[in-house]
Amino acid sequence: MLEKNILDKIADFFKSIGTRKASGEPIDLGRPKHDFETEEKEIHITHDEPVKVKSKAALQDKKDDPVIQLVKDKEGSQKATQTEKEAKKPVTIVATVKPRKELSEAIEALRVQYPWRKLKAEKPLSVQTLPEPFYFLTSDNQPVEAGKFEVSFIKELLTKAAEAGIENKFTFSISSTMSVIVKYKKKLVGRVYLHGRKHHMTFKTDAKIVTEENLTLSECKKLIPIWIGQIKDSLRA
């Protein structure tokens, strides 16, 4: 059966050939055409692009492109460094010295006459404690409590007297004008007024009484050596 089919196909093939006009071309059915007889095919070859070396101008242009950089703030850094240096610097405190009060001619002469360095004793005495509150007696023996300035002045007077080797033989009373009357062994030494903002102090000189006005408490204390020197003179007489 298979052979009959093959034969039938061969017969049909030749029949078909017999019906065609002779063309003079060889019959090459079933054989593939050679490569040189086939249609030409175009093959597109793409070459790699050559590497172009950029010129110096191009490189320079690239350098000119904007570049974001983190730049340290020099000014801020300098200020911070300066602040640290200032913080480390030692603080200099300048003390202002208030000029010494100009005294009257008579009191200035007494101050020069009795310098404290010559009044100090080689063996100072012990300072007696002032009782507080401290009271003065008026002319009619009425007690009057001393103010804080008056207490401070009397303590300074007793301290200077002890350093000068003078025993505590002082008595204190108050006048009707609120001045403290200072006596040593019942002899008048002087007076001091310590109320208000401006004080005054009296001294004996050449059998006269001299008053120095417009003094502060500190200035009154600085004039105590005059009293101490006059007391020492009276003890030698």
For the stretch 184-237, pLDDT in tens is 999 999 999 999 989 999 999 887 999 999 999 999 999 999 999 999 999 987
What is the pLDDT, as a whole number, of residue 12? 75
Average pLDDT over residues 5-14: 74
CB 135 within 8 A of CB 143: yes
Higher-pLDDT residue of 111 and 52 is: 111
In the three-class reduction of DSSP (H, G, I as helix; E, B as strand; rest coil), residue 88 is classed as: helix
Count Cα atoms within 13 angstroms, Cβ side, for 195. 9
211 part of a folded domain:
yes
Angle between helix 224-236 and helix 148-163 axes, rounded to 10 deg: 50
Read off the pLDDT of residues 91-140 as tens digits, 9 standing for 90 and up.
666 555 566 678 999 999 999 999 999 999 999 999 989 999 999 999 89
Q: Is the pLDDT of residue 40 over 60?
A: no
The Cα angle at residue 198 between residues 157 and 218, in degrees rounded to 5? 35
Beta bridge partners of 211: 202
Residue 206: give the domain boundaries. 105-120+129-236
CB 200 within 8 A of CB 107: no
64 part of a folded domain:
no
76 part of a folded domain:
no
CA–CA gap between residue 22 and residue 14 (Å, rounded): 14
32 part of a folded domain:
no
Q: How many structural domains is the chain composed of?
A: 1
76: pLDDT confidence band, cut at 50, 70 and 90? Answer: low
Give the H/E segment covering residue 136.
strand 135-137
Average pLDDT over residues 4-17: 72
163 part of a folded domain:
yes
**CA-wise closest residue to 209 among 100, 102, 104, 101:** 104
36 part of a folded domain:
no
The Cα angle at residue 77 between residues 72 and 79, in degrees rounded to 5? 150
Q: Is the pLDDT of residue 46 over 80?
A: no
CA–CA gap between residue 80 and residue 88 (Å, rounded): 12
**CA-wise closest residue to 101 among 223, 201, 198, 219:** 219
What is the pLDDT, as a whole number, of residue 36? 46
**CA-wise closest residue to 224 among 178, 155, 174, 138:** 155
40 part of a folded domain:
no
**CA-wise closest residue to 220 among 136, 157, 165:** 157
CA–CA gap between residue 164 and residue 205 (Å, rounded): 21
6 part of a folded domain:
no
Read off the pLDDT of residues 136-186 as tens digits, 9 standing for 90 and up.
999 899 999 999 999 999 999 999 999 999 999 999 999 999 999 999 999
In the three-class reduction of DSSP (H, G, I as helix; E, B as strand; rest coil), residue 58 is classed as: helix
54: pLDDT confidence band, cut at 50, 70 and 90? Answer: low
In the three-class reduction of DSSP (H, G, I as helix; E, B as strand; rest coil), residue 200 is classed as: strand
Higher-pLDDT residue of 219 and 37 is: 219
